[in-house]
Structure 1
Amino acid sequence: MTARTLLPVLTVGALLLAGCTTEAAEPAGLTASPTATSSPTPEPTPSPTPTDGIQVHDDPELGIVFEDVPDLTGDEADVYNWIATYQKAYWQTLRTNEVSDIFATFTSSEIQDTMARIPANNSSSNATIAGTFRTRISDIVVAGDTATGVKCDDLGEATFTNDTGTFTAEDVGKDVAQRNKLELIRVDGGIWYVNRLVGDGTC
C-alpha cells in the first residue's frame, strides 16, 4: 500500500480545511517527532482578550508557528487574535485526536460538527498527525460587527502516521499550502464568532 493510498485517512483534517462552501476545520501542535506517542497532552486553549495589538501566539510545545504577523490594532487585532485562537485549537485537535473544548465557545455548529469528525475518523484508523504547523493570517477586514480574514496553512513540516508507517506531507500529497477565508461576527463579550470557513485554493 502506498502513502498516497493513505491520504483520505491521514489527512482528513487538512482536506476538510480546504473544503468548499461552508466546510470548516483547523490547528495546534509541536515536537518534530514523527511518532504517535509524541502528541501533547490536550490543554484548554485560552480565549484572547481585547487588546491594543496582536498577542504572541507561537507555541513551540504545541508546534504551531505564526508567520508574517502584521502590525494591527483595535478591532483588526482582535479579529487576528481570534483567528489565531481558532488555528491553535484546530492544530491541537489534529495533534491529539481530541476536539478542543474552546470550539464550542466561538464557532458555529457547522464548524463544531466538522471538528468532531476529524479525530473520530483518524482515531478509527489509528492515524495521527505530528510535526510543525506553519500558518499565516492576513487580509483582515472589519465592517461594524462583521469581519473577514484569510489564513494560509502549511503542513509541509507535519508528519502523518498510521499502522503502516510514518509519512511526510509530500508522501501524502499535502505539501502545498492551503488558503481559506473566514467569516466572523462580533457577539457579546467582545468575542469574534467564527461563523464560516471557505476553501480558497492554494497560497
Structure 2
Amino acid sequence: MLGMTEVMPKGSNAQLPAEVAAVRVVLRWQLLPGTPDVDVSALLLTAQGRVREDADFVFYNQPRHPTGLVRHRAKARRPGEASDTLDVDLDRLPGWVDRLVLGASVGDGQDFAAVGGLQLLLFDIAGGPGAAALTRFDLFDVRGCAALLCGELYRRSGGWKFRAIGHRYPSGLGGLAQDFGVTVDDEEPVAAQEPALPPLPTTPPPPSVEQLLPEPAGFSLPPQGPRFLRP
C-alpha cells in the first residue's frame, strides 16, 4: 500500500513513484439534482505537443486507443457521487508518446458551473481496492466553460510526472481537441430535400350563388341573406 495522497495546487508538479507501471485516472464530482454528466478524455501527444492522428484522442465516442494502452472504463455512480475513469499503461506506451493531456467536458449547452466537488485523482492500478490515491487535484473556478484541461502526465528523466493545470475551454471539448491537432468536423449533415413541386396554376374563384341568381326586381334580401345561400 502506498502512502498518503499528495494534494496538488494548480500549477504544481508531482513525480510518480518509479514502481508505478499503470495509473487509473479518475474524474470525480458530486451527483446532485441538475448536475450535468461529465466525461474524462485523454490526448496522446508527441514531443511537438500534437497528436499523430485523430485516433490519439481517447474520449466517450472513441473509448480505446488503437494500442489498447489507454482505455475508458464504465462510469460509476454512488449516492451523492459520480466518476469517469481512464486506465493508462504508462510503462508500455510507445516512445513517441511524450505526454498525455487529461481533459474533462460536459454536454453541449451545459456548463461546469453546475458541477460541484470536481476532482482529478491518480491511482496506482497495482495498489488494488482501497489504496490511497497517488495525487488529488481539486478543480475550482470552473464557471463559464464546457471543457477543462485538467492536467497532464509527461515523461521526465526516465519516469513520469503529473502537472495540475486546470485551464478552462469555453469552446468545449472540440476546442480542446483542435488545439492539439485533432480534426473536428463541426458541420451538421444536410438532410436530403425533395425537389420542389411546380406551382399550381391559379384559377379565378367560382362565382357566388348571388352572382348566378340575380335578384328579381323589387325583391330585397334580409340583412344576412337566405341561409341556404351562405354556409
In the superposition, the TM-score normalised over structure 2's length comes to 0.25
The structure that is helix-richer by fraction is 1
Q: Which has the bigger relative contact order, CA under 8 A and spacing at least 6?
A: 1
Flag the structure with larger Rg: 2
In the superposition, the TM-score normalised over structure 1's length comes to 0.28
